[in-house]
């Protein structure tokens, strides 16, 4: 039996639902999500194997024009690196709305030699469904040679059609990974992302972008995984906000994170967290490399 296998990059501006789409297509959560833009900071590989097809999805940070800090430049570089040497490119749009950041993604999309698909996400949020067909028609005129697939990643709507279109675009190739594997990322990486997700969801608009996580210890003993994690912020005031009154916020983050970690790892987790100040880390090239932002 011949098999098909290839890399499929999911690209788009921040907050269009790339990570939600990846998780929905995989049928399990490996990429963190929140309502805040720029939640995803690294390229993340998600592997789906079905019968004679293996799809290697690459979730990417949102491509954005404004680059105020070294971290933003890293995220853009990381996302753009995913456009190189992939077999299929999914350009994700939020209900067909095209803003400045979408225009930049469109420019890169048009330059790619990969097979292309435009995915119009969040169709469940379109109040007047009669506007969907005209909107898709306008998009098709703009991209006449590209397949369009409307979906709702949140509601799992039309994902079978999207997967069918992707599988048809994959090259004939042996599988690159074992059929049981769902990502190439380490468990250390996944647990650090889980902590960051809980912080993104619980904190205000600004503070999450001043936070990064480093796993100091990851040990299996006494039928449990013992994890020590340091949460870095940029200012003393941010540290106080994150910890909360009598440590309540940090305790709540730890409890929520531990539950998700136990689901991912399949074992009991003993989690300890600390908060430290690393002044200006997000705008310091050397600091972000030392904190794990060095995979591009």
Q: Is the pLDDT of residue 243 over 80?
A: yes
Residue 263 and residue 142 share a domain: no
Residue 210 and residue 149 share a domain: no
Residue 216 and residue 148 share a domain: no
Q: What percent of the chain has pLDDT over 70?
A: 100
Question: Which residue in the block uniquely carries the two structure tokens 């999805």?
Answer: 57
Residue 159 and residue 80 share a domain: yes
pLDDT confidence tier of residue 205, bands split at 50, 70 and 90? confident
Residue 132 and residue 20 share a domain: yes
Counting the structural domains of the chain, the total is 2
Summarize the confidence of residues 134-139 as an average pLDDT.
93
CATH number at residue 199: 3.30.300.20
In whole angstroms, give the CA distance from residue 29 to residue 85: 26
Residue 195 and residue 152 share a domain: no
Is 181 a domain residue?
no
Is 177 a domain residue?
no
Q: Is the pLDDT of residue 296 over 80?
A: no
pLDDT at 184 (0 to 100): 96
CATH number at residue 16: 3.40.50.300
Q: Is the pLDDT of residue 294 over 90?
A: no
Q: Sign of the CA dihedral 100, 62, 19, 12?
A: positive
Residue 196 and residue 162 share a domain: no
Q: What is the pLDDT of residues 146-155, one digit of tens each?
A: 999 999 999 9
- Chosen domain end from 119, 137, 169: 169
pLDDT at 198 (0 to 100): 96
In whole angstroms, give the CA distance from residue 286 to residue 296: 14
pLDDT at 295 (0 to 100): 74
Residue 249 and residue 126 share a domain: no
Residue 44 and residue 159 share a domain: yes
Residue 126 and residue 56 share a domain: yes
Residue 111 and residue 17 share a domain: yes
Summarize the confidence of residues 82-89 as an average pLDDT.
94
In whole angstroms, give the CA distance from residue 56 to residue 114: 14
């Amino acid at each position: 039996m011949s098999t098909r296998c290839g890399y499929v990059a999911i690209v788009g501006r921040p907050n269009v639902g790339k990570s939600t789409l990846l998780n929905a297509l995989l049928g399990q959560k490996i990429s963190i999500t929140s309502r805040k833009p720029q939640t995803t900071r690294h390229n993340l590989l998600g592997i789906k194997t079905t019968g004679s097809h293996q799809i290697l999805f690459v979730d990417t940070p949102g491509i954005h024009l404004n680059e105020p800090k070294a971290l933003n430049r890293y995220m853009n570089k990381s996302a753009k690196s995913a456009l190189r040497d992939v077999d299929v490119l999914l350009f994700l749009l939020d209900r067909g709305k095209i803003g400045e950041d979408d225009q930049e993604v469109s420019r890169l999309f048009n330059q790619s030699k990969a097979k292309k698909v435009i995915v119009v996400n969040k169709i469940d949020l379109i109040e007047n469904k009669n506007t969907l067909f005209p909107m898709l028609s306008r998009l098709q005129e703009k991209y006449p040679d590209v397949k369009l697939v409307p979906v709702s990643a949140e509601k799992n709507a039309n994902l079978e059609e999207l997967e069918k279109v992707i599988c048809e675009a994959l090259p004939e190739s042996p599988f690159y990974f074992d059929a049981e594997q769902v990502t190439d990322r380490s468990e250390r990486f996944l647990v650090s992302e889980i902590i960051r997700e809980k912080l993104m969801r619980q904190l205000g608009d600004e503070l999450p972008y001043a936070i990064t996580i480093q796993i100091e210890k990851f040990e299996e003993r006494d039928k449990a995984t013992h994890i020590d994690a340091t949460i870095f912020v940029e200012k003393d005031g941010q540290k106080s906000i994150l910890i909360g009154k009598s440590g309540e916020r940090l305790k709540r983050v730890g409890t929520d994170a531990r539950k998700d970690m136990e689901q991912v790892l399949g074992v009991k987790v003993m989690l300890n967290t600390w908060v430290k100040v690393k002044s200006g880390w997000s705008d310091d090239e050397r600091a972000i490399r030392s904190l794990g932002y060095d995979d591009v």
